[in-house]
Every structure is written in C-alpha cells, then in structure tokens.
Amino acid sequence: MHHFAYKAGVLHAEDVDLSNVAKSVGTPLYCYSTATLQRHYRLLAEAFEGQNALICFAVKANSNQAVLATLAQLGAGMDVVSEGELRRAMAARVAPEKIIFAGVGKTRSEMAYALKQGILGFNVESEPELRALNEVAGELGRKAPIAIRVNPDVDAKTHAKISTGKSENKFGVPFAEARALYDLAAELPALDIVGIHMHIGSQITDLAPMRAAFTLMRQLAKELLAAGYQLRHLDLGGGLGIPYDAKDPLPPHPRDYAAIIVECLGDLGLELVLEPGRIIAANSGVLLTRVIHVKEGADRTFLIVDAAMNDLLRPTLYEAHHDIWPVREDLKSMPPVVQDIVGPVCETGDYIALERSLPPFSEGDLVAVMAAGAYGAVMSSTYNSRPLVPEVLVNGEDFAVVRPRQSYDELIGLDRLPDWPA
C-alpha cells in the first residue's frame, strides 16, 4: 500500500501534485511519501505488539537523512553496514544504543569508531573479524557487544544476487561451526556475547525458508543458553518482500511474518531485533522521469527518458520489475503500445522496463516508476558524468527537497589535477 494516487487527473504523492514537483525541481527526481513510511513502520510495530522487539531500519535500503529521521521519530533503530551509514544514522538522531553494525568487511577503524559511539552491537561474520574486533576493543579498553551471524544454508527463493543464507554465499559462519566460534568468543577478553544473528536474503515472498532458518536459530539459542551464555537478543535480519508487480500475488503480511517468529522464538525470553528495509521504504517512493524522445526502431518502440541506469540500477542489475504509471491519468485509457523504456546512458543495459505494454507516451510526458523508495537513489552513481538526482519528501500538502540535485561544478570539482609539470 502507498499514498500515490490520481486526483483531478494528475498523479499525486499524498496531497502534492507530482507535475508541480517536476516543474519546481526538474527531472529526474525521487519523491518519497512520509505517510507511507510511517504506515509501513507502524504495520511492523503493530505486528510485534506485546513482544520485546526493536525494529532497526536497514539504512542500505534508503539512507536519506529525512527518511531516517522520519523513522527515528517513530522509535526505529538502525541497521548499518559501514561507518558512513553509522554516521548518517547518528546525524538523524538515532540513539547509538539502537544501532546494529552488520557487514562482512568492517575495518578496524570502523570498529573503533562504532565502539566509541556505544552502539547496541556488532554482527560478526567470521573468526578473523572476531579476533580483530577483540583486539580493537582491547586497545580502547572497551568490551564489544557481539552476535555471531550464522549461515543456515537455507535457500530464500529469491534472486541469486540478494540471497544471503546459502552455504556458497559470503555471509556468516556455517551453522555447524557456530557453537565453536561462540566458545572462542567467550575466551576473548574484550568481547561481550549478547546475541545470535541470521539473515537469509531480501525480497522474500515465501515464509517457509524463514521458518527453517528460525528453527535453526532456536536450536542454537537453546544450546547456548543451556551452556550458560547470557544472550540478550536474537537478530532475525530482514528480507520480507513487497509486490513490485500489481499482477503478482501479495507477499506475506507482517502479521504472518511476526506469527512465525513468535511461534519459533517467542518463548525464549530474548529481545527480537528486526532489520527491515524494503518493506518500509520501497512503496514510499517513486522515480519521476520525463520523456525525451519516442524512437521507432526496426523491431520495437523505444521510450527514451531522462532517468537512466545510474539513477535506478535495479532493472538491469536484478532484472527487476517496476510498475510504470503516467502522471497524466487520461493516458491510462489510451490503447497501449509495447515499448522499451530506456535512458541516455551508453549501455545496452540502460533500461527501466523492456517489452512493456504501456500508454502511448509523447515527448515531454511525465512517467512515474513505482516502488522505487528502496535500493533506488541509494545505489545511484554519476556514470557518464551524470549528476546525482534530487530527492523530495512529501508530507501532506507540503514537499521539501531533501537532497538537492548535484551541480556540474560539484561533480567535476571532486577531481584534482596533479601539480607536476605538463
């Protein structure tokens, strides 16, 4: 569900006319709905009502300060995977004790910075990381709170590039080796064992793999508790999917997701830490782009727009589907045309949609790429020396530019010429 709808023949974000946003800010641009962000966070929070649960938004999904601050005001913690994300979370006034630091390649300097901030914990992914964190914490005279990420070798039945819980994936330690690593951690003086972590993938639409992973987590938790480990939380990861294609079956509701978690883990007396990203942010945003040309090729029609793969990478990286809506409602009633929506970047992979039956757009028409609020702007680049596009946040009748369009001077000014003679 989202708060994008037609009013008076024009697509609106909440009560804001998107054609007016495009006129004011220019295209392409990302536009986010505050109401959608709030609704989706509250749906998750309500699903876990009565449970000791902390929702840590996955900053990698959307790291805009305004988005993070909106969620923080509702009580969200943050799941970060770099010092940059940690700094963003803290700049959005998220309390450090509500921040989890995940990721397979934390550097020693990142570890030190996070320790000094007093974060909730580190999700440790390997023995070398465990030993490095112990050394860094010892040098600082601190104890690092840790959970070990366990790889359950469970197929999440999602795209291969966002599956993280199989044995061939780089994430976590094999389930069979987890107990031994916990025993090693207990011997390292600067570590404080506080939990267990699992995360099996993203855009998951079948709860069966999650049940399988949580069952293994329960087994390990009971074993560790029986051995005297003072666990405080279970970090369950995220991964719950959203309906990118309106024709697809609806994915599991957060209530069903919560029911499985409570069934598998609710009687252990441990805090539940969740790391949702996509389910909160994806439907909160659209990518707004304008038609530059309509090109009739030998085999198909190309709709050339001013957004490109550097602005939205998901279609070419994941073969991902995004619904396409015209900003003018009247276009929806016109006979559709099979067409490719492509951008100006010099790559065959520069597309937003392929062989899609869509309204007969014309030069200058505005197009909304739906469900672009997660893994959209955050994955963008300046390939082809295209400046980063602006991000806009809507709240009721108001909108604000929450990341301005990068200027060419800012883009080129990042470079430095060497001072040696020509």
Higher per-residue pLDDT: 307 or 1: 307
What range does the domain containing 195 cover?
Answer: 103-274
> Could you tell me the pLDDT band of residue 174, with boundaries at 50, 70 and 90?
confident
Per-residue pLDDT tens for 332-361?
999 999 999 999 999 999 999 999 999 999
Is residue 252's pLDDT more than 90? no
Cis peptide before 28 (omega within 30 of 0): yes
346 is a catalytic site residue? yes
Q: What is the tally of structural domains in the chain? A: 2
Is residue 158's pLDDT more than 70? no
User: Annotated catalytic residue: which of 31, 56, 264, 346?
Assistant: 346
Together in a domain, 251 and 114? yes
Together in a domain, 264 and 293? no
Higher per-residue pLDDT: 249 or 223: 223
Domain presence at residue 16: yes
pLDDT at 250: 85
**CATH number assigned to the domain comprising residue 170:** 3.20.20.10
pLDDT at 162: 46
Together in a domain, 209 and 294? no
Is residue 167's pLDDT more than 60? no
Together in a domain, 190 and 315? no
Together in a domain, 268 and 292? no
Together in a domain, 335 and 304? yes
* Across 25-50, average pLDDT: 97
Together in a domain, 268 and 300? no
Average pLDDT of the residues of the chain: 93
Domain presence at residue 238: yes
> Could you tell me the pLDDT band of residue 163, with boundaries at 50, 70 and 90?
very low
pLDDT at 379: 97
Tell me which of 246, 274, 302 is where a domain ends: 274
Tell me which of 251, 274, 297 is where a domain ends: 274
Together in a domain, 248 and 377? no
Together in a domain, 167 and 293? no
Together in a domain, 175 and 116? yes
Is residue 375's pLDDT more than 80? yes
**CATH number assigned to the domain comprising residue 13:** 2.40.37.10
Three-state SS letters, the chain? CCCEEEECCEEEECCEEHHHHHHHHCCCEEEEEHHHHHHHHHHHHHHCCCCCEEEEEEHHHCCCHHHHHHHHCCCCEEEECCHHHHHHHHHCCCCHHHEEECCCCCCHHHHHHHHHHCCCEEEECCHHHHHHHHHHHHHHCCCEEEEEEEECCCCCCCCHHHECCCCCCCCCEEHHHHHHHHHHHHHCCCEEEEEEECCCECCECCHHHHHHHHHHHHHHHHHHHHCCCCCCEEECCCCECCCCCCCCCCCCCHHHHHHHHHHHHHHHCCEEEECCCHHHHHHHEEEEEEEEEEEECCCCEEEEECCCCCCCCHHHHHCCCCCEEECEHHHHHCCCEEEEEECCCCCCCCEEEEEEEECCCCCCCEEEECCCCCCCHHHCCCHHHCCCCCEEEEECCEEEEEECCCCHHHHHCCCCCCCCCC
Tell me which of 250, 274, 298 is where a domain ends: 274
